Amino acid sequence: MANEENKGYKEFMEFVESATKEQIMDGIYRVIPQMCTEDTWAEFKERLDNLTDTLNYMSQWNRVCELLQECKEKWNKYSSELYTYEDYLKIRKFREQYDSEGGKKGTGFSFPEYLPGEAKGISDKIINSSRKKREMPIPPSDFYETMEEVLKAAEPARQGLKCARVEALRELLTMLVFNIESDGTSKYGDYNLMIYDVEARKADHKKNGNKIAFYTFRYGIEEVREKSEELLEELNQRGEMVTFLGDGVPVFRELIAEKLQVPYSFAPAHVNKQRAAAVAALGSIYYKEGRTETAMEHIPEYLRVSQAERERAEREKEQKPAGTKI
């Protein structure tokens, strides 16, 4: 049975890693509803709709900015071409006059020497090419009188989940699949079914070696695991699905892929860092479940001593004479 589950997990992850945006969206909107109860899918669908609206809004306004910038650049270029054309017409008039007077032979001057003071400041390029006929610049076709016109022109950018990077969609599908229980329900909704929180600090990694703070919402906070490989070994022994998030994920991603044998996923970009909104969402869930406490009852649970306390302990240890008990 375990071998079949591992095989199924491996096949699923291989599909996810190679899937296109279209295939991932098909998985989200066709396969996920078949795995869920109607109520669970309704929760997922509502949040997916919200995400789609957000992506559409951002993509459309990004396109609006691009269109306005492109329009501005085109009209700036047209304006510059008009000034150049005006200088050309001025020089052209003097060129015709110069030629009618017999050119250098008739005037005794080269054309640049012939030019009056009012031609001062006109570029040599325009002067030297004044025999060549130029057409009047054509104004750009891009022109917006109102923001409504720009928004309408930017509407094609509203492509829903397709606006997201394919890597983000892959993580979204993985998170949805592994957050569905065997009975088709999902206790915490579609985005915050994080059983484990793995936090790896880059500063600690550089200073103190491989360290990952580890705790689980299911069983309550446990002691911190100092070695990443020890943590991965323990996760293998637990045999449960793991979701990794935090700013340490990029640091340990390769090690996780190499050592971890149980199903796992990386939290998508919008929930892979500490966010006050996530705390508020979890607080709302706890409140509905009646898991509340007063301000007087609240006691923080520290995963480890603070950096200041650790450094102080190290200094005191170094200052102790040899043979002194601490």
| pLDDT given at position 112 | 86
Q: Tell me, what DSSP letter sits at residue 213?
A: E
Strand partners, 220: 216
Do 285 and 195 meet the contact criterion of CB atoms below 8 Å apart? Answer: no
pLDDT (tens digit per residue) in 18-29: 889 899 888 888
Q: Does position 9 have pLDDT exceeding 50, yes or no?
A: yes
Q: Whole-angstrom Cα distance, residue 54 to residue 160?
A: 8
Higher-confidence residue of 204 and 12: namely 12
pLDDT of residue 6 exceeding 50, the answer is yes
pTM: 0.50
Indicate the burial class of 324 (C-beta count within 10 angstroms; 0-12, 13-18, 19 or more). Answer: exposed
- Contact between 180 and 270 under an 8 Å Cβ cutoff? The reply is no
**Per-residue pLDDT tens over the stretch 178-216:** 778 888 887 654 443 332 222 222 323 333 343 333 433
Mean of pLDDT over the chain? 76
Tell me how far apart the alpha carbons of residues 246 and 260 are, in angstroms, rounded to a whole number.
17
Residue type at 22 in one-letter notation: E
Q: Are 221 and 245 in contact (CB under 8 A)?
A: no
Length of the chain: 326
Whether residue 226 contacts residue 277, with contact meaning beta carbons closer than 8 Å, is answered with no
